[in-house]
Amino acid sequence: MTRTTCCTIALLLISTGLAQAANITNAFPNLPTFGSPINIEDPRDGTDRLFVVERGGQIYVFANNPNVSQMSTFLDISAGLELQGECGLLGLAFHPNYESNRFFYVCYQDDSPFETVIARFTANAANPNLADPGSQVRILRISQASFFHKGGCIAFGPDGYLYISLGEDGTPGHAQNLGTLKGKLLRIDVDNPEGGLQYGIPADNPFEGNPNGWREEIYAFGFRNPWRYSFDSDNGDLWLADVGQNAWEEVDVVLKGRNFGWPHTEGLVCYPQPTQCDTTNLDIVLPVWVYNHGAGGASITGGTVYRGPSVPTLWGNYIFADYINGLIWALDPDGPASTLLLDTTLNIVSFGTDVDGELYFSTFQGDIYRFIETATDVPAGTPGIGSLRAVHPNPFQANATMDYALAETGRATLEVFDVRGVRVATLVDKTLDAGDYAAEWNGRDANGRVQPSGVYFCRLLVNGSAVGTRRIVLVK
């Protein structure tokens, strides 16, 4: 029998520039305060609306506008909902073809019988802000025994299948038992039901057609309480946060058919004895990041890889938080290194993105927040005698083009700065006639040295006056 010793030290790497360059603001200050907002979703149907899920059983809808002051009830399934412990209405996912079929899916715990339910509803054909409460079709039902470790995140992947995270229901052994759905990440095909079920099994599911009685819905296993996962909109990677037991919180990049350890491991260490355990033939996939409870946190809230345009500082980083201490981190997938962004003291329970990729999070204090870029000491300038019109592509890898214009003859100076306001390169410094121009930056400084990935600023001056500044992200 092989014995494997597991140990680790979690390092918190502080990147001053990144931490100072991002902040948060109340996204909808004129809306009424929510009760327990546990999910934020955009239906991607061209209507620019957001839906907020209340754990108590309501889904609210409102315009994605910072000045919005009214919201309406989209669906209320509070009757018969189990609300003890960590139960309730926990997840919402809109079908990829929601604009045409009006299907959306929810995850909740019913009180009689006590079970987790994945159900489909249909939005009202005449009123897009109202669901048809009588349209419920129960897709999947899983009997429950405890009021804790429910998971409950649901989302459609880039492949069009519905993914479902389920906690181990307070029984650690469920996570390694392939005969149960608990402690697993599932993947089902809701568009092609078969075998008398309301769903089908994707042909490439890892246990499809197995002779061992293992549940074919399983995509990955070995989770304790997978509290929120998301797909990177750039490459489809599946990022999942699994809430730990005694000491460690973890971030996983999920691989199909693989074992993520619980309860043999917690984070990177053996459980329940951190120094030694038997992992013979388990082929456990270790987390990409962990942090311990000694840092003050004790319940990770999974987030998303930021791909929005408004905060290029965070572009490409996985943003996540801890529910207990309100800390928000950015994890660089290429590091990996974790940057402490903010200490909010908020109970952050869920993250969500809108159709543009802008990042929001909900708190049990009742408000919805979004991320914003913090101003740097690179001056914004005043237009009039010229303009810095565009920077493209943005983000860029090899070369970026800066389009600018002069309204009259003058000396044009086009410079690149880093997030500290330090000049990196001067691209143009000469007298030009009125007209349109373009310059390129190759991601190197004035001495030809390749610059690291990150956020930079290009600034145009005409006759010594700043007339425009643009942010740009360099990705290596």
pLDDT tens-digit map of 253-273: 999 999 999 999 999 999 998
Q: Please compute the mean of the pLDDT values over residues 98-109 and round it to a whole number.
A: 98
The helix, strand and coil proportions of the chain, stated in percent and rounded to the nearest 5, come to: 5, 45, 50
Q: Please compute the mean of the pLDDT values over residues 162-172 and round it to a whole number.
A: 98
Q: Determine the pLDDT at residue 11.
A: 29
Question: Residues 13-43: pLDDT tens digits?
Answer: 333 345 556 889 999 999 999 999 999 999 9
Q: How far apart are alpha carbons 231 and 275 in whole angstroms?
A: 34
Q: Determine the pLDDT at residue 315.
A: 86
Query: Is the model's pLDDT at 247 over the cut of 80?
Result: yes
Q: Determine the pLDDT at residue 18.
A: 58
Identical fold at 16-373 and 386-474?
A: no
pLDDT-based confidence at residue 276 (cuts at 50, 70, 90):
confident
Query: Is the model's pLDDT at 420 over the cut of 70?
Result: no
Query: Is the model's pLDDT at 44 over the cut of 90?
Result: yes
**How much is the mean pLDDT over the chain?**
90
Q: How far lies 70's CA from each of 48, 101, 123, in Å?
A: 15, 26, 20
Query: Is the model's pLDDT at 10 over the cut of 50?
Result: no
Q: Please compute the mean of the pLDDT values over residues 152-161 and round it to a whole number.
A: 98
Confirm if 274 and 267 have CB atoms less than 8 A apart: no
Number of Cα atoms under 13 Å in the Cβ half of residue 446: 12
Helix (H) or strand (E) holding 19: helix 16-21
Q: Determine the pLDDT at residue 297.
A: 82
Query: Is the model's pLDDT at 466 over the cut of 90?
Result: no
Q: How far apart are alpha carbons 199 and 207 in whole angstroms?
A: 16
Q: Determine the pLDDT at residue 296.
A: 67
CB-neighbour burial class of residue 92 (10 A; exposed 0-12, middle 13-18, buried 19+): buried
Question: Residues 337-366: pLDDT tens digits?
Answer: 788 999 998 999 999 999 989 999 999 999
CATH code, residues 386-474 = 2.60.40.4070
Residue type present at position 236: G
CA 275 to chain centre: 33
Q: How far lies 337's CA from each of 331, 332, 350, 464, in Å?
A: 6, 5, 22, 39
Q: Determine the pLDDT at residue 471.
A: 77
Where along the chain do its domains lie? 16-373, 386-474
Q: Please compute the mean of the pLDDT values over residues 425-437 and round it to a whole number.
A: 95
pLDDT-based confidence at residue 476 (cuts at 50, 70, 90):
low
Query: Is the model's pLDDT at 331 over the cut of 60?
Result: yes
Q: Which of 56-60, 91-95, 351-355, 447-451 is least confident?
A: 447-451
Q: How far apart are alpha carbons 439 and 429 in whole angstroms?
A: 11
Query: Is the model's pLDDT at 8 over the cut of 60?
Result: no
Q: Write down the architecture of domain 16-373 according to CATH.
A: 6 Propeller (2.120)
> Which stretches does DSSP call E strand in 84-128?
89-94, 103-111, 114-123
Q: Which residue has the higher pLDDT, 372 or 221?
A: 221
pLDDT-based confidence at residue 390 (cuts at 50, 70, 90):
confident
pLDDT-based confidence at residue 96 (cuts at 50, 70, 90):
very high
Q: What is the pTM of this model?
A: 0.80
Q: Which residue has the higher pLDDT, 417 or 212?
A: 212
Query: Is the model's pLDDT at 4 over the cut of 60?
Result: no
Residues 6+ apart with CB under 8 A from 74: 51, 59, 60, 61, 123, 129, 130, 131
Q: Please compute the mean of the pLDDT values over residues 177-193 and round it to a whole number.
A: 98
Q: Determine the pLDDT at residue 1.
A: 27
* Residue keyed to tokens 């597991």: 6
